[in-house]
């Protein structure tokens, strides 16, 4: 039950934060938002560094560094770029691919054995969310080339997220590191990587006088909820649940995004609602 409640909490926090990041992408580049949130998040969790046995966990920490760079530095930058182009719900809907990808990788790479119901549930969730993606709900049409770029960014972020989650799962079940410690290691490594690659963007943010107190308040709130608590709860999910089941739960973001889609210029039709609730049935089958 710990893994289940952690997954639902992560989905709620992440979906809410994504809507803020999309709005703030009008003022900052996607990579600048990623730098802002990761540097701030790693600072907020910085005291956790003192609890980590760095020398005795060197190999595990190295794997987590790779996980942080792939999943947070690269994956989240692609993710926020997709948010800006195709919107919150459609970007989140690309998580339709994660249950099947994660279940397959979990079976092949770390020998996790899933009963037939997990595969059936994962397929139902993936099918439902893919059908949501197909719904043309935007009142404002974007150029085809721009939509394709957004789709590629969303798909790339999914691949990065699943690979990073798999690496985290291996460490969480095979070492003494806690979810809070793995969260900070991943955030810190992602922040350092982004700073080294996009140093100019980091200083541009510091000198950006166009950002108002409201902008900063939105970014701080979304960082605390979506990055700090969102990633922490995600790590708890991968500690207590097999990666396939965990990602099936975490992929429910598009359903929660229905509540914020109206203000992003989307009209939700009956089919969208039907497939959204069908995804819940898939999750129920997986967990029964």
Side-chain-facing half-sphere of 269: CA atoms under 13 Å: 10
Our count of domains for the chain comes to 1
Rounded to the nearest 10°, the torsion over CA 83, 85, 87, 91 is -60
User: pLDDT truncated to tens, each residue of the chain (288 aa)?
Assistant: 788 899 999 989 988 898 888 888 888 888 899 899 999 999 999 999 999 999 999 999 999 999 999 999 999 889 888 888 887 667 766 766 777 777 777 777 777 777 888 888 888 877 887 777 666 555 455 566 667 888 889 889 988 988 998 999 999 999 999 999 999 999 999 999 999 999 898 888 888 888 889 999 999 999 999 999 999 999 999 999 888 888 888 877 767 777 666 665 666 777 877 887 787 788 778 766
The domain in which residue 207 lies consists of: 2-287
């Amino acid at each position: 039950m710990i893994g289940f409640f952690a997954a639902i909490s992560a989905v709620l926090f992440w979906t809410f934060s994504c809507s803020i990041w999309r709005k703030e992408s009008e003022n900052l580049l996607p990579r600048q938002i990623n730098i802002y949130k990761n540097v701030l998040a790693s600072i907020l969790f910085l005291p956790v560094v003192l609890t980590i046995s760095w020398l005795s966990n060197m190999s595990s920490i190295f794997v987590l560094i790779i996980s942080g760079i792939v999943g947070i530095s690269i994956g989240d930058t692609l993710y926020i770029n997709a948010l800006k182009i195709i919107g919150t719900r459609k970007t989140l809907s690309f998580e339709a691919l994660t249950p099947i990808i994660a279940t397959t990788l979990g079976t092949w790479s770390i020998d996790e054995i899933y009963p037939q119901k997990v595969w059936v549930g994962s397929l139902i969730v993936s099918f439902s969310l893919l059908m949501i993606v197909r719904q043309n709900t935007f009142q404002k049409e974007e150029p085809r080339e721009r939509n394709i770029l957004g789709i590629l960014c969303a798909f790339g972020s999914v691949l990065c997220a699943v690979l990073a989650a798999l690496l985290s799962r291996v460490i969480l079940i095979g070492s003494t590191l806690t979810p809070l410690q793995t969260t900070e290691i991943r955030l810190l490594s992602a922040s350092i990587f982004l700073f080294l690659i996009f140093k100019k963007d980091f200083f541009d943010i510091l000198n950006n006088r166009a950002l108002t107190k409201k902008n900063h308040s939105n970014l701080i709130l979304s960082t605390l909820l979506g990055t700090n608590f969102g990633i922490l709860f995600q790590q708890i999910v991968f500690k207590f649940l097999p990666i396939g089941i965990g990602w099936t739960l975490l992929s429910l973001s598009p359903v929660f995004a229905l509540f914020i889609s109206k203000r992003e210029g989307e009209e939700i039709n009956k089919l969208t609602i039907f497939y959204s609730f069908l995804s819940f049935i898939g999750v129920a089958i997986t967990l029964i």
